[in-house]
């Protein structure tokens, strides 16, 4: 298991359908930049509800592909926003970006290798 993606977990949930997993990874790669920008913009705005909503969306997308660390960070960010702790959410943004970069790199590797 890589630190970025738990392919075994994802395949277990997907009935061991590697082709479907690769498709989900590609969709994630296509959409993750805009989801991250939504989170980053929300954090910049300081609007707790916006942060929570954007982080929740990203958390769900990370769950779909078993992006463990990125999902954990998005969940922590969502929780911080729901507890009106925008400062904590802002502290997590760089770690979230790095985790998403790792996911993107690992997803690209898996797609290229055909998992």
Neighbours of 87 (CB within 10 A): 10
> Is residue 114 left, alpha or beta, with left meaning phi > 0 and alpha meaning psi from -120 to 50?
left
In angstroms, the CA 44 to CA 46 distance is 5
CATH of the domain at 90: 1.20.120.160
Look at residue 2 in the predicted model and tell me its pLDDT: 61
Domain extent, residue 102, equals: 7-113
Say how many domains are in the chain.
1
Phi, psi at residue 2, to the nearest 5°? -80, 165
* pLDDT digits (tens), the chain, 115 positions: 467 999 999 999 999 999 999 999 999 999 999 999 999 999 999 999 999 999 999 999 999 999 999 999 999 999 999 999 999 999 999 999 999 999 999 999 999 998 7
């Amino acid at each position: 298991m890589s630190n970025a993606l738990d392919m075994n977990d994802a395949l277990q949930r997907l009935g061991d359908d590697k082709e479907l997993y690769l498709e989900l990874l590609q969709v994630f790669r296509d959409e993750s930049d805009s989801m991250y920008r939504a989170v980053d913009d929300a954090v910049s705005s300081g609007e707790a509800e916006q942060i929570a909503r954007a982080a929740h969306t990203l958390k769900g997308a990370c769950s779909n592909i078993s992006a463990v660390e990125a999902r954990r960070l998005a969940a922590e960010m969502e929780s911080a926003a729901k507890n009106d702790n925008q400062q904590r959410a802002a502290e997590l943004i760089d770690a979230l970006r790095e985790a998403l970069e790792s996911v993107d790199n690992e997803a690209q590797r898996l797609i290229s290798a055909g998992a």
